[in-house]
Amino acid sequence: MAFVREPDGLADELVSALGQVKKNVCLCSRCGSVTARTEDPCELCTSLRREGSQLCIVEEPSDIALIERAGGYQGRYHALMGKLSPMQGSGPGQLRVDALLDRIDKEDFQEIIIAISTDVEGDATSSFLRECLKERNVRVTRLALGLPAGSGIAYSDATTLTRAFRGRREA
């Protein structure tokens, strides 16, 4: 409501803030994560402390932030900027697939981890990526699927339960 009561002051602040974001923030030219224009490529791409042999493919830069917040992964990233969706007009040409393949050819990745959603478009994108990577000498894995931590079988759907059984491992 402050915007309506004081339209001039707040609107000017909002326009200024958006201008500063546009001026100072960009997507990393290597991985696609959000970074400062003065730090391109980003720290996730240049840090010597990260595992350079692993590359995690995600749909969006926001996925990188979520994985980083969880703290369980220390490798490199590549954001596709979407997923295959013929209904939305999104094919391989709209995604950063060529940049991904160039990176894999130039950098020494031993494992490619596909961390894409498990909906129909995500599964199609994962299958497409596996096909593209088949000729390259690199291990391709996908995030495990199953029951969420702190949840129970009673709250899971049939697909999640089926995937949990297929992805089981030694206890």
How large a percentage of the chain has pLDDT more than 70? 95
The whole-number pLDDT of residue 69 equals 93
Alpha helices in 31-157 (DSSP H): 43-46, 61-70, 97-106, 120-133
User: Domains in the chain, please, with CATH?
Assistant: 2-143 (3.40.1360.10)
Is residue 2 pLDDT above 60, yes or no?
no
Judged by DSSP in three states, 58 sits in: strand
Residue 37, amino acid = R
Nearest to 84 by CA among 116, 113, 114: 116
Using one digit for the tens of pLDDT, what is the confidence trace for 97-152? 999 999 999 999 999 999 999 889 999 999 999 999 999 989 999 988 887 778 78
Confidence of residue 1 (pLDDT cuts 50, 70, 90): low
Is residue 7 pLDDT above 80, yes or no?
no
Is residue 165 pLDDT above 60, yes or no?
yes
Six token digits for residue 160:
């999640």
Using one digit for the tens of pLDDT, what is the confidence trace for 67-101? 999 999 999 999 999 999 988 889 999 999 999 99
How large a percentage of the chain has pLDDT more than 90? 65
Is residue 11 pLDDT above 90, yes or no?
no
The whole-number pLDDT of residue 58 equals 97
pTM of this structure? 0.85
Beta bridge partner(s), residue 140: 112
